[in-house]
Structure 1
Amino acid sequence: MKGYLRGGGPPMLLASLFLPARAEFVSHLREVVRRVLVMAAAEEDARYSAQLVTSELVTNVVRHSAVASNATVGLALSRDGATLRIAIHDADPESGEPSEPDEDRESGRGLLVVEGVSDRWGVDRTLVGKLTWCELTAWPEDARAYS
């Protein structure tokens, strides 16, 4: 049953933290994701995909919250069976939608990358902004065990 691990419990929170929404923290959050997923024995390809998605989503927050000097970005990693869920919270209520990137621009492809790498992704409104999330299969041996 979706929502419960093999032991019958709810999804497991692997990590959660908030940092200032500044460019110098993007690499820090990417490293947090890498270390947590190594410790959680996630598949190597999933670790790289998770770092890429985290980098893209956090960079979007940094770019779009540049006017607010006290803006923060929240990261939560959780596991539900074989699935890793990456959730990025920010105070900007505007929902990001993937768009056709301008060929002459270096940016504007982040959500297309997230869409291409993730099994599922979406944006949920919160009381103070939004939660952009994605899911990846990070423990494929568990997926086989439940099929």
Structure 2
Amino acid sequence: MTTHSAWLPQHRKSAGTARTMLRDFLADPVPNGELFACDAEVILSELVTNALLHGRSGPEQLIFIRFDLSPALLRIEVHDASGKPPTLAPVGADEECGRGLLLVERLSRDRGFGPREGIGKLVWATVGPEA
């Protein structure tokens, strides 16, 4: 299994930084990493954005991301300092935001959340190779 993790600041550019880290992680020498890329980038971006919007914020609060890749599965984790569980809320057709967890649900093989060591939670999703 190949693993990468990093801490990101509570900043609007952190989702983009996380996507770049994922692209670099899935590039060579990871065998077949590109097979996970499209869905994984959307999922990661949505999970980091949710952590930024709904996690506890402050200059001392960081977001932790982790990628674990086996030959058939990529696991993405995003940790934040909020213990509040992620919720899939109904969204009106005219609303511009609020569909992130729906995208995660539709694009991932499996997903969930749980407490992390210390304070807060981790939200995770798994992605399989795209056809």
TM (normalized to structure 1)?
Answer: 0.79
Aligned match of 2:127: 136
CA distance in 1 between partners of 2:105 and 2:37 (Å): 16
- Offset at residue 43 of structure 1 (A): 5.0
- Larger Rg belongs to: 1
Percent of aligned pairs sharing the same letter: 29
Structure 2: segments with no counterpart, 5+ residues? none
Aligned match of 2:23: 34
Relative to structure 1, is the Cα distance of residues 97 and 106 closer, same or farther in structure 2, using a 3 angstrom cutoff?
same
What is the aligned-residue RMSD (CA, Å)? 1.9
- Offset at residue 102 of structure 1 (A): 2.4
Aligned match of 2:38: 48
CA distance in 2 between partners of 1:67 and 1:56 (Å): 17
What one-letter code is carried by the residue in structure 2 that aligns with 1:100? P
What one-letter code is carried by the residue in structure 1 that aligns with 2:99? R
Q: Does the aligned pair in 2 maintain the 1:42–1:139 contact within 8 Å?
A: no
Q: Does the aligned pair in 1 maintain the 2:69–2:75 contact within 8 Å?
A: yes
CA distance in 2 between partners of 1:13 and 1:45 (Å): 15
Structure 1: segments with no counterpart, 5+ residues? 1-11, 141-147
